[in-house]
């Protein structure tokens, strides 16, 4: 369960951006949105959903991009550029990360989450150089890991390693006690561009703990930076080579939402193929690629729905750019209600997405701390992030308020008036002879 994510000097976010999935203090109502998990002897609460609003080019996608980039860095274990390109270019080419204001300041990432009864907090501060300087000698300035609020290691000018009781069962079996020799080996293992977490700490101190952390990032922190680029990925079917497997789950869901009356399935082209497959529509006795038969909205839903099921099954966090694009509002509302349903969301799954659709600005659907905003300051060009719960009730933000109406009259900010008329009038005037 994600509790919080912060970043600094990531693209349009020059100053710290703190994205919280922890319930705001003194917020009441809609308690079905609150998840509760235990770590050690303490209980922690988290939000089950969050929606991000803001005008175009405000930086909404950069919130999701920062999460995706940090996830990518952790999983590859270094701050070098990735060998394989990503839909999120900054996750592969890190010279795209620093804010392009000309200043060379460090980039920071920090994440706080609960998994398997452990409260894990992990942060990295890296000097990536100026914007678009791919030859800059990058280095990790600081790296820190705590478990159940106890320091496990701190890497900065020196290296400190502790083995608190919370991680005892995850430490390497050969370790009976910490020794100066082990610390010496750990210091020698440090590289300017490699994470201590997934390299020296893993091999010397706690391989099983690092495996658990990496597994959360890989399997439970599902970040989709460009949902329109999301490919059909078979999650539940088990087709044989050159055969079609009817995916009952997707077919039933699609018919329930009224998106299609056709059966859906996956066709494998290779015998050993396990992931990417061809999504098909079964029309009568004909087998057709879904991309040429189904609508764009249908394809979006079919690609996204398995990810919803995945996080509901494993208690993960699904973060998606424009999750709602081209999908009917009734279907979207139902999916949000599923995450709020304790009888279905038994594993504490979470859904986070950005949108332009105002229907989620509803006090009967989402709590004030679940409604997030991003706007860009005209003077600096930098993005800022805040929640509806950050507004004082004295300013008229109360449960039961008409959030949608207040948003469109710019009471919360994160909205921009748009008037193309002067541009179009000028173009038409300058090109009047074309129409003659």
Instruction: Write out pLDDT tens, residues 374-427.
Output: 999 888 889 999 999 888 654 546 566 778 777 765 777 767 777 778 887 888
The answer to the question of residue 194 being in a domain is yes
Report the alpha-carbon distance of residue 435 to residue 234 in Å, rounded.
53
Range 153-171 average pLDDT: 95
Cβ neighbours for 428, distance < 8 A, ≥ 6 positions apart: none
Q: Identify the DSSP state of 100.
A: S
As a whole number, mean pLDDT of residues 62-80 equals 97
How sure is the predictor about 239, in pLDDT bands with cuts at 50, 70 and 90?
Answer: very low
Residues 365 and 217 in one domain: yes
What would the mean pLDDT of 181-192 be, rounded to a whole number? 94
69 lies in some domain: yes
Percent of the chain with pLDDT over 90: 54
Question: What is the rounded CA–CA span in Å between residue 367 and residue 336?
Answer: 12
Check residue 295 and give its pLDDT: 73
- Is 316 inside any structural domain? no
Look at residue 423 in the predicted model and tell me its pLDDT. Answer: 80
Same domain, 251 and 116: no
The C-alpha angle with vertex 165 and arms to 159 and 169, in degrees rounded to 5, equals 100
235 with 361, same domain? no
- pLDDT of 174 reads 85
When the pLDDT of each residue in the chain is averaged and rounded to a whole number, the result is 85
Of the candidates 62, 55, 12, 56, the one whose C-alpha atom is nearest the C-alpha of residue 415 is: 55
3-state helix, strand, coil in the chain (%, to 5): 30, 25, 40
pLDDT at position 397? 61
Average pLDDT over residues 56-78: 95
In this predicted structure, the answer to whether residue 276 has a pLDDT above a threshold of 70 is no
For residue 249, the enclosing domain spans 230-306
Q: Is residue 45 part of a domain?
A: yes
Examine the domain organization and report whether 146 and 178 are in the same domain.
yes
Q: Are 358 and 10 spatial neighbours (Cβ–Cβ below 8 Å)? A: no
Residues in the chain: 436
- Asked which of 275, 306, 337 is the last residue of a domain, the reply is 306
Share of the chain above pLDDT 70, in %: 84
* Any domain includes 315: no
Report the b/e string of 173-187 with b at 16+ CB within 10 A.
eeeeeeeeebbeebe
Query: 60 pLDDT exceeds 80?
Result: yes
Number of domains in the chain: 2
Instruction: Categorize the per-residue pLDDT at 266 as very low, low, confident or very high, splitting at 50, 70 and 90.
Output: low
Residue 52 β-bridge partners: 354, 372
For the whole model, what pTM was predicted? Answer: 0.88
Q: Are residues 73 and 9 in the same domain?
A: yes
Q: Point out the least confidently predicted range of 140-144, 179-183, 205-209, 249-253.
A: 249-253
Q: Could you write out the DSSP letters of every residue in 16-72?
A: -EEEE-SPPTT--S-GGGEEEEEETTEEEEEESEEEEE--TTSSHHHHHHHHHHHHH
**Same structural domain for residues 109 and 189?**
yes
Residue 312 lies in a domain: no
For residue 340, what are the contacts with CB-CB under 8 A and spacing of at least 6? 30, 32, 33, 48, 49
pLDDT bin (cut points 50, 70, 90) of residue 243 is very low
């Amino acid at each position: 369960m994600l509790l919080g994510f912060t970043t600094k000097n990531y693209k349009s976010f020059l100053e710290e951006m703190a994205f919280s999935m922890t319930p705001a203090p003194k917020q009441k109502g809609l308690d079905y949105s609150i998840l509760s998990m235990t770590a050690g002897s303490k209980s922690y609460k988290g939000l089950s959903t969050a929606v991000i609003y803001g005008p175009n080019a405000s930086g909404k996608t950069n919130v999701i991009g920062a999460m995706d980039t940090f996830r990518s860095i952790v999983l590859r274990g270094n701050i070098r550029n990735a060998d394989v390109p990503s839909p999120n270019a900054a996750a592969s080419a890190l010279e795209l990360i620093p804010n392009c204001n000309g200043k060379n300041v460090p980039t920071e990432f920090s994440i706080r989450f609960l998994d398997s009864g452990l409260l894990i907090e992990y942060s990295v501060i890296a000097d990536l150089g100026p914007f678009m300087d791919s030859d800059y000698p990058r280095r990790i300035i600081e790296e820190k890991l705590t478990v159940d609020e106890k320091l496990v290691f701190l890497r900065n000018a020196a290296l400190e390693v502790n083995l608190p009781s919370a991680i005892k069962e995850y430490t390497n079996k050969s370790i009976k006690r910490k020794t100066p020799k082990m610390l010496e080996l750990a210091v020698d293992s440090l590289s300017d561009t490699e994470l201590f977490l997934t390299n020296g700490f893993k091999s010397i101190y706690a391989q099983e703990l690092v495996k658990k952390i990496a597994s959360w990032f890989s399997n439970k922190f599902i970040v989709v930076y460009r949902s329109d680029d999301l490919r059909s990925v078979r999650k539940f079917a088990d087709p044989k080579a050159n055969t079609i497997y009817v995916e009952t789950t997707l077919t039933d869901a699609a018919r329930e939402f009224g998106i299609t009356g056709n059966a859906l399935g996956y066709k494998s082209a290779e015998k050993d193929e396990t992931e990417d497959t061809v999504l098909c529509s079964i029309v009568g006795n004909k087998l057709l690629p879904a991309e040429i038969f189904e609508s764009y909205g249908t394809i979006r839903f079919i690609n996204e729905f398995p990810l919803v099921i995945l996080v509901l099954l494993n208690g993960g966090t699904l973060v998606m750019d424009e999750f709602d694009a081209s999908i009917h509002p009734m279907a979207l509302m139902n999916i949000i209600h599923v995450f709020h349903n304790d009888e279905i969301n038994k594993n504490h799954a979470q859904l986070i997405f950005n949108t332009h659709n105002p229907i989620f600005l509803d006090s009967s659907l989402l709590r004030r701390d679940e409604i997030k905003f991003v706007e860009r300051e005209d003077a600096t060009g930098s993005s800022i992030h805040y929640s509806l719960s950050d507004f004082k009730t004295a300013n008229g933000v109360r449960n039961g308020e008409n959030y949608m109406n207040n948003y469109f009259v710019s009471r919360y900010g994160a909205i921009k008036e748009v008037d193309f008329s002067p541009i179009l009038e000028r173009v038409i005037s300058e090109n009047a002879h074309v129409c003659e």
